């Protein structure tokens, strides 16, 4: 077997001899060294290899494609989140926040009407008129219904409600639930004594009115103030355009233009179909967002200026009207503390006039309530205060019969009822205008968030489709 050497061994032997005669290293050792060097090159750290690849033209194109696609998708997600949040806030304002504010307003107004009606019913000195009795009963029933609505919804702790606000709301609802039945019981006791001709009836009525003014109405007012703030606070944000989304889309447009210019310079091609498609899609989405966003902001601004703000002022004016009427009637029934009750009436009517003047000054051309309506309300207020002056003059002259007629069924009662009806009409029109504007703003921006996200995803796919063929050209 030794005489038959293998071909491999013979080749190695010849290679070794040839190597010793003409090279420094034997061919076999040189081959092994080259293989070792190649192996070391292939086993470099991935970061070094990636850094080397990123410096090449295809590496730069891959980096541009990945970063631009991710930026487009993230921008679309951000824009969709911001716009969907606005839509959700507008929808919640119409479906939940505004009805809760309305129920709190009705609760407050109804309690004030009930107190004024209960006091007015005692002006006759005996059996009260059916109209006042019905007005009192309807006001108490409406207040009870509004309290049920308020307690059924306000007791639900939402994410936007702090723990302190939730505790205060719970406390106010409990105060109303406990004291309204107590108030009606005192009124019924006073009414019974009044029918029997017992003077103690006016004392019971005074206790009931004091309970209403010192505990019930303040709790109802706090509920109303919180619900009004829940409407006005989000409108401050909704009345501002989404500048961050506009800025992000502007950065995307600038990046796409820079990418198109880079490709034209590197690939010697003037246009890239994918980049142009992405740029066209983003421009269309930006125009859509600009139009819908600014329109929604303008409508929300109108809802705030022509709806929420005058609605709050008109509601305050109506509540002050009930308080003034309660002070007017109570001063005649009790025939004591005339100076204090007269001062309450004077301050309330003065505040009503200032509030109506404020609403009239801030009116826009497209406001739901007109300047003529407010002029009518101010004229009725002036006539009411004049009739009250006549009644007080009659009391000072000892003519209680004439004063009773003026306050109970005469000029004072008629002007008060007319003013209250005028305020109710203005409040209803303003509320409908507010809800219409908010619904319109919601519809205008409703699908914009989803549309922008779809457009940015399409632009990301277009960028990938436009850059992949350029990357493959380097293979």
pLDDT tens per residue across span 49-104: 555 555 567 778 888 888 999 999 999 999 999 988 888 888 888 888 888 888 88
pLDDT tens per residue across span 126-170: 566 777 788 888 889 988 888 888 776 555 555 555 677 778 888
CA atoms within 13 A on the CB side of 181: 3
Alpha-carbon torsion, ordered 53, 56, 60, 63, to 10 deg? -10
pLDDT of residue 33: 62
- Please give the distance of CA 427 from its chain centroid, rounded to a whole number: 21
| Per-residue confidence band for 27, with pLDDT thresholds at 50, 70 and 90 | low
Both tokens of residue 143? 């207040």
DSSP label at residue 129: P
pLDDT of residue 327: 81
| Per-residue confidence band for 336, with pLDDT thresholds at 50, 70 and 90 | low
pLDDT tens per residue across span 235-286: 767 778 888 899 999 999 999 999 888 888 877 767 788 899 999 999 999 9
Q: Is the pLDDT of residue 11 over 60?
A: no
Both tokens of residue 211? 């309970």
Q: Is residue 283 within 8 Å of residue 268, measured between CB atoms?
A: no
What's this model's pTM, rounded to 2 decimal places? 0.74
Q: Is the pLDDT of residue 198 over 60?
A: yes
In percent, the amount of the chain with pLDDT more than 70 equals 81
Q: Is residue 118 within 8 Å of residue 180, measured between CB atoms?
A: no
Q: Could you write out the DSSP letters of every residue in 167-195?
A: HHHHHHHHHHHHHHHHHHHHHHHHHHHHH
3-class secondary-structure state, position 6: coil
Residue 295 region, left (φ>0) first, then alpha (ψ -120 to 50), else beta?
alpha
Q: Is the pLDDT of residue 404 over 50?
A: yes
Say how far apart CA 324 and CA 111 lie, in whole Å: 14
Say how far apart CA 473 and CA 475 lie, in whole Å: 6
pLDDT tens per residue across span 294-303: 898 888 888 8
Both tokens of residue 100? 């809760």
Mean pLDDT within 380-404: 83
Say how far apart CA 48 and CA 45 lie, in whole Å: 5
What is the C-alpha R_g of the chain? Answer: 41
E-assigned strand segments in 121-254: none
Mean pLDDT within 34-49: 55
CA atoms within 13 A on the CB side of 390: 17
- Phi, psi (degrees; rounded to nearest 5) at 368: -70, -35
User: CA nearest 187: which of 210, 205, 207?
Assistant: 205
pLDDT of residue 270: 74
Q: What share of the chain is helix, strand, coil (3-state, %, to 5)?
A: 85, 0, 15
Distances, alpha carbon 291 to alpha carbons 294, 299, 302, in Å: 6, 12, 17
User: CA nearest 256: which of 471, 456, 468, 474?
Assistant: 456
Say how far apart CA 97 and CA 184 lie, in whole Å: 30
Other Cβ atoms less than 10 A from the Cβ of 350: the count is 14
Q: Is residue 108 within 8 Å of residue 217, measured between CB atoms?
A: yes
Both tokens of residue 455? 């457009």
């Amino acid at each position: 077997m030794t005489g038959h050497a293998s071909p491999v061994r013979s080749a190695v032997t010849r290679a070794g001899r040839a190597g010793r005669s003409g090279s420094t290293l034997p061919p076999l050792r040189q081959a092994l060294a080259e293989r070792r060097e190649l192996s070391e090159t292939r086993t470099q750290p991935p970061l070094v290899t990636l850094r080397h690849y990123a410096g090449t033209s295809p590496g730069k194109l891959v980096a541009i494609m990945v970063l631009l696609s991710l930026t487009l998708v993230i921008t679309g997600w951000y824009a969709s989140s911001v716009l969907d949040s606005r839509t959700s806030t507008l929808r919640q304002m119409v479906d939940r926040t505004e009805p809760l504010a309305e129920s709190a307003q009705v609760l407050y107004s109804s309690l004030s009407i009930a107190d004024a009606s209960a006091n007015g019913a005692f002006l006759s000195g005996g059996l009260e008129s059916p109209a006042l009795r019905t007005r009192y009963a309807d006001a108490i029933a409406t207040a009870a219904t509004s309290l049920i609505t308020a307690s059924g919804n306000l007791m639900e702790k939402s994410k936007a409600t702090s723990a302190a606000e939730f505790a205060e709301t719970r406390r106010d609802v409990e105060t109303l639930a406990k004291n309204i039945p107590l108030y009606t019981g005192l009124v019924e006791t006073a009414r019974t004594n009044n029918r029997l001709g017992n003077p103690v009836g006016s004392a019971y009525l005074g206790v009931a009115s004091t309970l209403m003014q010192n505990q019930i109405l303040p709790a109802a007012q706090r509920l109303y103030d919180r619900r009004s703030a829940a409407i006005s606070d989000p409108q401050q944000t909704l009345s501002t355009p989404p500048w961050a989304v506009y800025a992000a889309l502007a950065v995307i447009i600038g990046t796409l233009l820079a990418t198109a210019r880079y490709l034209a310079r590197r690939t010697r091609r003037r246009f890239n179909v994918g980049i142009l498609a992405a740029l066209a899609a983003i421009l269309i989405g930006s125009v859509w967002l600009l139009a819908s966003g600014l329109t929604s902001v303008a409508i929300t601004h109108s809802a705030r200026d022509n709806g929420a703000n005058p609605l709050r002022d008109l509601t305050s004016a109506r509540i002050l009207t009930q308080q003034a009427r309660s002070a007017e009637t109570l001063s005649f029934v009790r025939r004591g503390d005339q100076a204090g009750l007269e001062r309450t009436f004077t301050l309330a009517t003065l505040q009503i006039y200032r509030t109506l003047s404020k609403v009239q000054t801030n009116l826009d051309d497209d406001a739901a309530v007109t300047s003529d309506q407010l002029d009518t309300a101010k004229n009725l207020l002036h006539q009411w205060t004049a009739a009250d002056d006549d009644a007080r003059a009659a009391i000072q002259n000892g003519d209680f019969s004439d004063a009773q007629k003026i306050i109970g069924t005469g000029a004072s009662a008629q002007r008060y009822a007319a003013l209250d009806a005028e305020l109710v009409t203005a409040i209803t029109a303003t509320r409908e205008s507010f809800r219409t504007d908010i619904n319109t703003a919601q519809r205008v921006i409703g699908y914009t968030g989803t549309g922008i996200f779809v457009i940015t995803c399409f632009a990301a796919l277009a960028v990938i489709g436009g850059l992949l063929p350029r990357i493959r050209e380097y293979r």
